[in-house]
Amino acid sequence: EAMGMSCCEERERPRKSCAPVHANAGFAAGVLFALLVYFLVRQQTAISAATTAALAQWSTVKQLIRAPGETQLIKAPGEILVTSDVHRVADKQPIQDTDNGKVVCTTEDRSRGLSGTCEVEGDIRTNGTALSVSLVPASWSERHEWMISPYTRSGQSLRVVTVTQLQDRAAAPPCTVTHTMPAILFGIGGYVGNYWHEYADILVPLFVAARRYHGEVTFLVSNIQHMPRWLVKYRALLQGLSKYGVVDMDRDAYVRCFPRVSVGLRLDKDLSIVPELVPGARLTMADFTRFVRETYALPRGAVTMEPYKKPRLLLIQRATSRQFLNEPEIARAAEAAGFEVVVTELRHDGSEVEQARVVNSFDVVLGVHGAGLTNAVHLPPGGVLIQVVPYGKMEPMARFDFSEPATDMGLKYLDYSVSAEESSLLEKLGPDHPAIKDPDSIHRSGWTTMYQFYLMQNVRINTTRFAPTLEQAFNHLRKQ
């Protein structure tokens, strides 16, 4: 031991001699033993690390594998809604692209009151906190920026989406979640809560945007807090278009990476589809109503007239304005025309699927102009929509909302214009009031004035005058 200490001292001061043979042999043996322990520990660590990595990889794969056809349910309001087809890759470099990608945007159409949209392809990052979509170039690129409303109609109070084409990769935030599929970003707001607008402004445009992906698409939804129940009400339709849960963009803390993102929904025709403008593949409004029937498992895909069985007519009664004041008389007139008649008030806050099944069991829907006539999407093709148009030169607006859309659905469209004598306005205002004598002056006064007069009236239908319209509907069905 003393010799050992002396040797160490001698190693520090090599001028003196201290090199016994047996000490050198002991030192060599010690070095060999240390090396052996090192290699054994290293091998054990490597085996442990490999085992841990294998288990982690299997766990990740197991989380991503799902049974065929399995979908992730949309969560209840208030919960964060996150898709399951993701790979978390914190601190990992994004996928390199061979080009700079592209951004194609349409500008706001002020004449039609429609918002702009953007189609972004390439290395894309979405940020829910900033509500932004950024295209990351492979090499230096000129910076561009667009501000896009996620709701189809312009002038609504939704937070806008910032779409940016970055200059270079250094400006891009790192991906925390990477998706292998495209995404569609849209917002809930504006006129949502009105049944017609829910279909015209969101559901039909979303069908047009998403159908080409055959379910392999993620929905990024903003402004969910405006109406959380909307996601629950239309859960079946959303799941029919996407196999994955939606992402609540207002609560999403991740930077998500996608190969393609559509920002906003393009509205080409109200409550209908322009086949030539559909991306990917040609679609029609008849395709949309077929999708709704299949998703809701509605039994009737066409109107069929059975011998000795009367066609069924659903008379929609409104709860407040634009009511039928002589509903029993109208029902008797329809029965005299050959129909089996049911009068009902369709509630917007009821079950969407149950209401669709009720409407699908009828051949004709009859009602005064209003959102309830949107239920025509549930009628079997070959059916009839009869719109009663309130007094006050309301035909252009009423037909715009339902005439062509119904025809595009494969329905027969008929309308009946209420005369001044059939309107509650005549008794309320008198024959000399401008709303009776000069409807054009009311329209020139603006939407609010027009609404207060012509959309707040009730109607008492002259059934003798109405009879030919009922006959037209019956004759159409008899030919089916």
In the numeric block, the tokens 């393609």 are attached to: 260
Q: Are 204 and 254 part of one and the same domain?
A: yes
The token pair at 8 is 């160490």
pLDDT of residue 364: 98
d(CA 338, CA 205): 38
Q: Which of 252, 283, 314 is the last residue of a domain?
A: 283
Does residue 257 belong to any structural domain of this protein?
yes
Q: Are 274 and 311 part of one and the same domain?
A: no
> Domain span at residue 141?
102-283
Q: Which of 256, 283, 310 is the last residue of a domain?
A: 283
Q: Are 344 and 279 part of one and the same domain?
A: no
Does residue 76 belong to any structural domain of this protein?
no
d(CA 105, CA 111): 18
Does residue 318 belong to any structural domain of this protein?
yes
pLDDT of residue 307: 82
d(CA 470, CA 99): 62
pLDDT of residue 30: 55
Number of domains in the chain: 2
Q: Are 453 and 418 part of one and the same domain?
A: yes
* Residues 468-478: tens digit of each pLDDT: 999 999 999 99
Q: Are 264 and 358 part of one and the same domain?
A: no
Pairing relationship of beta strands 340-344 and 183-187 according to DSSP bridges: unpaired
Q: Are 326 and 355 part of one and the same domain?
A: yes
Does residue 436 belong to any structural domain of this protein?
yes
For 327-354, letters b (16+ CB in 10 Å) and e give: eeebbebbeebbbebebeebeeeeebbe
Q: Which of 223, 249, 283 is the last residue of a domain?
A: 283
pLDDT of residue 163: 98
Assess contact for 212 and 242: CB atoms under 8 A: no
Q: Are 110 and 257 part of one and the same domain?
A: yes
Does residue 449 belong to any structural domain of this protein?
yes
Q: Are 379 and 416 part of one and the same domain?
A: yes
Q: Are 272 and 214 part of one and the same domain?
A: yes
pTM above 0.85, yes or no: no
Q: Are 199 and 309 part of one and the same domain?
A: no
pLDDT of residue 304: 83
Assess contact for 226 and 189: CB atoms under 8 A: yes
Does residue 13 belong to any structural domain of this protein?
no
* Residues 15-30: tens digit of each pLDDT: 333 333 344 445 445 5
Q: What is the CATH number of the domain that holds 374?
A: 3.40.50.2300
Residues of the chain whose pLDDT is less than 50? 1-25, 27-28, 31, 37-98
Q: Are 321 and 276 part of one and the same domain?
A: no
Does residue 137 belong to any structural domain of this protein?
yes
The token pair at 384 is 């009839």
Q: Are 277 and 337 part of one and the same domain?
A: no
Pairing relationship of beta strands 340-344 and 312-316 according to DSSP bridges: parallel
Assess contact for 418 and 390: CB atoms under 8 A: yes
Question: Would you tell me how many other CB atoms lie within 10 Å of the CB of residue 11?
Answer: 9
Does residue 61 belong to any structural domain of this protein?
no
For 142-163, letters b (16+ CB in 10 Å) and e give: eeeebebbbbbbeebebebbbb
pLDDT of residue 3: 37
pLDDT of residue 33: 53
